[in-house]
Structure 1
Amino acid sequence: MIILVCFLTYIINESENIFLGLYRIITSPAILVTDFIKVGGIGAAFLNALLILSFNYFLVKLFKIKITGVVIAMFFTVFGFSFFGKNILNILPFYLGGILYSVYTSTDFSEHLISIAFSSALAPFISSVAFYGEVAYETSYINAILIGVLIGFIVVPLAKSLYDFHEGYDLYNLGFTAGILGSVIMAVLKLYHFEINPQFLVSSEYDMALKIICSSVFVAFIIVGFYINNNSFTGYFKLMRDDGYKSDFVQKYGYGLTYINMGMMGLISVAFVTFTGQTFNGPILAGLFTVVGFSANGKTIFNTIPIFIGVLLASFGSKGNTFTVAISGLFGTALAPISGVFGPVAGIIAGWLHLAVVQNVGLVHGGLNLYNNGFSAGIVAGFLLPIFNMITDNNNQRKMNIQKKHMNFLKAVQKNIKNKMKEEEGEDK
């Protein structure tokens, strides 16, 4: 509601042509990094975001899907990336592909809607193919739609299969899936001389306005959550101690505490970005709202701060600029379950490694996977998981061996005591 009010106020007081801006957004290649605030203006960017949010909300209501933690995460993720890669047209082929998959497998589309919504991470493929070169042809549009439909059709079984690689320790599973799928599609396109020109297009003129809007929204979440939770923070400390592994906070703690956590995580994320010195823009909004969304489905203060620390430590002496550090820190919190399950030191290591990996994996999909950090997080989680499991199992085995030694020692002491007591009884007789 606050975002809508700010948007309407801006439209009333400014002469910006939002529909012309929206046209520019829709016809842009949308590859990493394309800030829609820079492309079409802040009014058009907010209009695009509100349209996409409304579209997904309509589908959730239409198919009577219960609002759980992962649904909230989906809403905020697609809303955030509407400032940064997704537009109201380039997401539609994925949904069509999802419908065809449901028909083909004789399943309910509502079972796959969340995965399909997340699969729009590959929306830049649609825009880049449709508007490839200086002149777009009818065949370009058809090819773009076919690619989107194909992705929507195969993404659900792929996501289920690739989940086993990181076992749920990457909260952005569809980001990892999109990275694998995007890399394969990009390889095929390059085979036929399809080349992507990288770009870095971000805005900087709305820094303070965006900080105020975001902070206001996050404070509002805390207030609403406080009210729903019987005007108290009771139970929030328990939520903060949750390891975040396969955790739906809505189902475990209710809406009140979940909203409080979302607001708190939003404010902490704002503080992190401010600390790095990065100005607020479209990609930063995507990172912030993704963190807030997944704060209903795994992220807490305790399991994300180690990730932030790890990214900051990795940035010292590295080639990463403030934008890379800020974005990697925000999206790197996909690794929060590692910190929650294996401890803060493991979280710091994961954050440190994430910054190293994320700066290199974008090459394989040509910047056409918006969830590049989710792809990186999946690789990091899959790499670290067996190592941390080995260490944990070894420590547990040591503890068991020590306990066995203690038990054997106590048994030996008890046996000696009993023998002495028997000897004393024999002497008395």
Structure 2
Amino acid sequence: MVNDNKLYFSDYTTISQKVKYRFLWSIAIFFALLAFLFNSPAEIIDGQLKILFSPANLTTDYFALANVGATLLNSAIMTAHAIMLIKMTRAKVNGPVIAAVLTVAAFSFFGKNLYNSTPIVVGAFAYAKITEVPTERSLLAALFGTALGPLVSEISFNIGLSLPEGIFFGYIAGLIAGFVIPSLAKHFVGFTKGFSVYNIGFTCGVVGTIFTSLLRSTGRSIEPVSVLSSGNNQPFTIIFLTLFAFMLIAGLYFNDWTLNGYASLLKHTGQLSTDYLETNGFSVTLINMALLGFITVFYALFHGGEINGPVIGGILTVVGFGAFGKHIRNVLPILIGVSLMGYLNDYDMSATGVVIAGLFGTTIAPIAGRYGTLIGILAGAFHLSVVSNTGYLHGGINLYNNGFAGGFVAAIMIPLLEAVEYQKGKKLAMREPVDPQEEIEVEI
């Protein structure tokens, strides 16, 4: 039952839109306050300038490029910017919106900033204006589409143009990218049939590949990079376990201190579009997000990974999509599959690239949700092989490289799985006894 201000979802409570906005604002404020525990205001300002005016291709860890405080403040600013866009479009806070805001917060640790995101957001809303659709319909494309922020930074600061030319052509490229993403994303969801929840990630991969190809044709070199930090495991393990503990407590509080409804959430496959706020309520969704947070932190630590910018990005993205398609039952098989493939092929499992392949690889969690644990493990293993080779195509200017790779994994596996399932269904039907009366009716 929905009214103007509230969504009734359980026997225990009614959560207003104000509470959901406060939840999102609390994350922005939390990161902003943390920033000044790590660095002085002068260091943070200096770091912010480095973040804003440097190329941001995968994988540029802002901890290493600038400093921890500047990175946290960048994430806080980008999170606040996303929330204000939601307010501007008068959209309601639902599962996809929470996923989008936390994804923006996540990638603001490595690759996104206010400078390179702005033209993409403007382009997406320009599409809504020109096609005369409500701006709310372009909101998710605007927020997720900032995956192509490095395209703007790369053209602005790294291909040899003068600063005015770089800014001009970088913003033109960003506007074009933002403008085409909404319409392309609608069509590409059919390519994966909703089994990769980072649909706009796949879209951005295609758009990024086209832009990279055009730039390379002019003799420019566009390549992924590896700028990574280390040594922050202890503080950020404590920070994120504390954050997720508060989320879990809040979820339990709103859910009358029970886990009622969580078993129901775990029955969803997660296939696009599964909004857990709509199907199971805000309280159960918060519980799910918190549990995914704990699992992803321990996954990174188990493999000896560094809790750096990209890994934090992976953790927060999984947590965000805990409101929109992911849960512990469909995520764990993917993580296991990536790990098994890594060990079998002698990968360095502590390497940031491998750790985030597992975290972001959960984009294909709905495959495990629909077809079971063993198929999910196989999908995770396949994903690690594919994602290791897709970064070159777009040169790192698409931050959602795993979304790009996951789209291919889903597009290849799902038709095969559907064909096998169909044949099994036919064989089962052939073995079932035929009702004599039905047989007579068919003959007549």
TM-score normalised by length of structure 2: 0.89
What SS does the aligned partner of 2:116 have?
coil
Aligned to 2:135: 109
Aligned to 2:208: 182
Distance 2:300 2:98 in 1: 23
Give the 5 Å matches for 1:5-404.
5=30, 7-8=32-33, 11=36, 14-15=39-40, 17-133=43-159, 136-245=162-271, 246-318=273-345, 320-321=347-348, 322=350, 323-404=352-433
| Superposed displacement of residue 8, structure 1 | 2.6
Describe the superposition over 1:163-195 as per-residue Cα deviations: whole angstroms up to 9, x where unpaired.
110010000000100111111111111111121
| Superposed displacement of residue 365, structure 1 | 0.5
Structure number with bigger Rg: 1
What SS does the aligned partner of 2:389 have?
helix
What SS does the aligned partner of 1:168 have?
coil
Q: Name the aligned partner's letter for residue 174 of structure 1.
A: I
The 10-residue stretch of structure 1 (99-108 or 252-261) with the greater mean CA deviation from structure 2: 99-108
| Superposed displacement of residue 395, structure 1 | 1.2
Q: Name the aligned partner's letter for residue 58 of structure 1.
A: M
Question: Percent identity of the aligned residues?
Answer: 35
Q: Name the aligned partner's letter for residue 306 of structure 1.
A: P
| Superposed displacement of residue 362, structure 1 | 0.8
Q: Name the aligned partner's letter for residue 70 of structure 1.
A: P
- Say whether the 8 Å CA contact 2:201–2:400 is kept in structure 1: yes
Describe the superposition over 1:34-61 as per-residue Cα deviations: whole angstroms up to 9, x where unpaired.
0001111010001110000001101111
| Superposed displacement of residue 318, structure 1 | 2.2
When residues 12 and 76 of structure 1 are mapped into structure 2, their CA distance, relative to the original with a 3 A threshold, is closer
Distance 1:317 1:236 in 2: 34
- Say whether the 8 Å CA contact 1:186–1:365 is kept in structure 2: yes
Distance 2:292 2:138 in 1: 28
Distance 1:378 1:71 in 2: 21
| Superposed displacement of residue 331, structure 1 | 0.6
| Superposed displacement of residue 5, structure 1 | 4.6
Aligned to 1:415: none
When residues 2 and 118 of structure 1 are mapped into structure 2, their CA distance, relative to the original with a 3 A threshold, is closer
- Say whether the 8 Å CA contact 1:19–1:44 is kept in structure 2: yes
| Superposed displacement of residue 130, structure 1 | 0.4
Structure 2 gaps, min length 5:
1-25, 440-444
Distance 2:70 2:229 in 1: 14
Q: Name the aligned partner's letter for residue 93 of structure 1.
A: P
When residues 317 and 9 of structure 1 are mapped into structure 2, their CA distance, relative to the original with a 3 A threshold, is closer
- Say whether the 8 Å CA contact 1:276–1:325 is kept in structure 2: no
Distance 2:325 2:38 in 1: 40
Q: Name the aligned partner's letter for residue 354 of structure 2.
A: V
Q: Name the aligned partner's letter for residue 62 of structure 2.
A: F
Q: Name the aligned partner's letter for residue 202 of structure 1.
A: L
| Superposed displacement of residue 196, structure 1 | 2.3
| Superposed displacement of residue 346, structure 1 | 1.1
Q: Number of aligned pairs?
A: 411
Distance 1:241 1:13 in 2: 42
Distance 1:13 1:389 in 2: 51
When residues 58 and 206 of structure 1 are mapped into structure 2, their CA distance, relative to the original with a 3 A threshold, is same
Distance 1:219 1:346 in 2: 31
Distance 1:287 1:127 in 2: 22
Distance 2:313 2:183 in 1: 26
What SS does the aligned partner of 2:87 have?
helix
Give the 5 Å matches for 1:407-422.
none
Describe the superposition over 1:267-301 as per-residue Cα deviations: whole angstroms up to 9, x where unpaired.
01111111111010000011001000001011111
When residues 130 and 267 of structure 1 are mapped into structure 2, their CA distance, relative to the original with a 3 A threshold, is same
Q: Name the aligned partner's letter for residue 358 of structure 2.
A: G
When residues 383 and 235 of structure 1 are mapped into structure 2, their CA distance, relative to the original with a 3 A threshold, is same
Distance 1:78 1:200 in 2: 21
TM-score normalised by length of structure 1: 0.92
Describe the superposition over 1:289-341 as per-residue Cα deviations: whole angstroms up to 9, x where unpaired.
10000010111111111101110111024263322221111011111111111
| Superposed displacement of residue 20, structure 1 | 0.4
Distance 1:2 1:102 in 2: 29
Q: Name the aligned partner's letter for residue 297 of structure 2.
A: V
Q: Name the aligned partner's letter for residue 187 of structure 1.
A: S
Distance 2:236 2:213 in 1: 38
- Say whether the 8 Å CA contact 1:311–1:355 is kept in structure 2: yes
Structure 1 gaps, min length 5:
412-429
